[in-house]
């Protein structure tokens, strides 16, 4: 790893690193916030945050206002980048914001040319946690959350890996990517035309099939410009009813898709995860 940035915050440390990732076959960047007094003698649990389209490791760390409460709770936060990057990593040929660089969708691509580098699912589930747990004073207790495309990733990864994540939450997630333009474009190009291969990366389909054992917390603003065409939280509600699963969906009048929304309710999510981690 190479340290590329360091800041003090609320008595803890915000650190940025690059490292050579085997899963994505390129250099990856991540940020980590370590609360005060985190040490080998007193390791802390970790919240993984997955960001949305066009974002990097820095959007959440700089805009969400999460570090003060994380410092008080004794919780580390890890924010990875949203896709592989670098020389030789393919991008959308037309430079679209919703596919390619910045838009990895947290899947393991199977279609060329994306299948060489776009292995974000394996990176988040296996490679990054192994690195974090070997290099930093953290426990193996993990939670996961995210926003928009990252909310999709958090729900999918959390439901598919209940033995690895103690709690799962999301802000404005792409809830049913098989049935929205963003998801159909991404899954079709990363995974191919056979929609049967998409189900493992569709939170609503996973929820309906009851292949999980985790409680889910979701926040959604009513004035989100992507609500009806892209996000479709009602798909999650219907799926939870089908599988008799506890889903808490909080609809917030007047809130949009921005980090103003995330910052308004991030503390509730930190406390939700802290409760499952035994911190409160």
Q: What is the pLDDT of residues 30-64, one digit of tens each?
A: 999 999 999 999 999 999 999 999 999 999 999 99
Burial class (CB in 10 A: 0-12, 13-18, 19+), 24: buried
Q: Which helix (H) or strand (E) holds 13?
A: strand 12-21
Question: Out of 67-81, 199-213, 239-253, which region has the weakest mean confidence (pLDDT)?
Answer: 199-213
Q: Which of 148, 172, 204, 235 is catalytic?
A: 148
Range of the structural domain that residue 151 is part of: 2-276
Kindly report, residue by residue over 230-270, the tens digit of the pLDDT: 999 999 999 999 988 889 999 999 999 999 999 999 999 99
Give 225's Cβ-side CA count (13 Å radius).
2
Instruction: Point out the catalytic residue in the list 224, 235, 269, 273.
Output: 224
b/e map of 82-109 (b: 16 or more CB within 10 Å)?
A: bbbbeeebeeeeeeeebbbbbbbbbbbb
Answer yes or no: are the C-beta atoms of 165 and 143 closer than 8 Å: yes
Active site residue 179: no
Chain centre to alpha carbon of residue 16: 17
Say yes or no to pLDDT of 113 above 80.
yes
Catalytic residue from among 152, 257, 269, 273:
257
51 is catalytic: no
Nearest to 120, CA basis, from 177, 51, 39: 51
Q: Which contiguous run of DSSP H or E holds residue 158?
A: helix 149-160
Domain total of the chain: 1
Laid out side by side, the sheet with 26-34 consists of 2-9, 12-21, 26-34, 76-80, 44-50, 138-146, 168-171, 216-221, 247-252
Element (H, E) at 130: helix 128-135
* The overall pTM is greater than 0.85: yes
Least Cα distance to 66 among 278, 258, 277, 264 occurs for 264
Radius of gyration of the chain (CA): 17
23 in active site: no
Q: What is the CATH number of the domain that holds 139?
A: 3.40.50.1820
Going by C-alpha positions, the residue among 32, 44, 37 that lies closest to residue 75 is: 44
């Amino acid at each position: 790893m190479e340290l590329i940035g360091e800041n003090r915050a609320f008595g803890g440390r915000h650190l940025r690193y690059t490292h050579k990732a085997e899963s994505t076959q390129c250099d990856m960047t991540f940020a980590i916030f370590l609360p005060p007094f985190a040490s080998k003698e007193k390791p802390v649990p970790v919240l993984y945050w997955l960001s949305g389209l066009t974002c990097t490791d820095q959007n959440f760390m700089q805009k969400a206002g999460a570090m003060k409460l994380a410092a008080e709770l004794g919780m580390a936060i890890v924010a990875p980048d949203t896709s592989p990057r670098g020389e030789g990593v393919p991008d959308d040929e037309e430079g679209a914001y919703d596919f390619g660089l910045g838009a990895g969708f947290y899947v393991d691509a199977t279609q060329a040319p994306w299948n060489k580098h776009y292995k974000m699912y394996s990176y988040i589930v296996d490679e990054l946690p192994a690195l974090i747990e070997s290099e930093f004073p953290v426990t193996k207790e993990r939670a996961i959350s995210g926003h928009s495309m990252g909310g999709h990733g958090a729900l999918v990864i959390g439901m598919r890996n209940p033995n690895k994540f103690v709690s799962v939450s999301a802000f404005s997630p792409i809830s049913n990517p098989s049935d929205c333009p963003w998801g159909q474009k991404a899954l079709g190009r990363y995974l191919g035309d056979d929609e049967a291969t998409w189900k493992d990366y569709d939170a609503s389909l996973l929820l309906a099939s009851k292949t999980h054992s985790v409680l889910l917390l979701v926040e959604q603003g009513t004035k989100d410009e992507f609500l009806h065409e892209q996000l479709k939280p009602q798909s999650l509600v219907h799926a939870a009813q089908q599988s008799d699963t506890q889903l808490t969906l909080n609809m917030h009048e007047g809130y949009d898709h921005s980090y103003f929304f995330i910052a308004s309710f991030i503390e509730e999510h930190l406390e939700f995860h802290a409760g499952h981690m035994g911190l409160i």
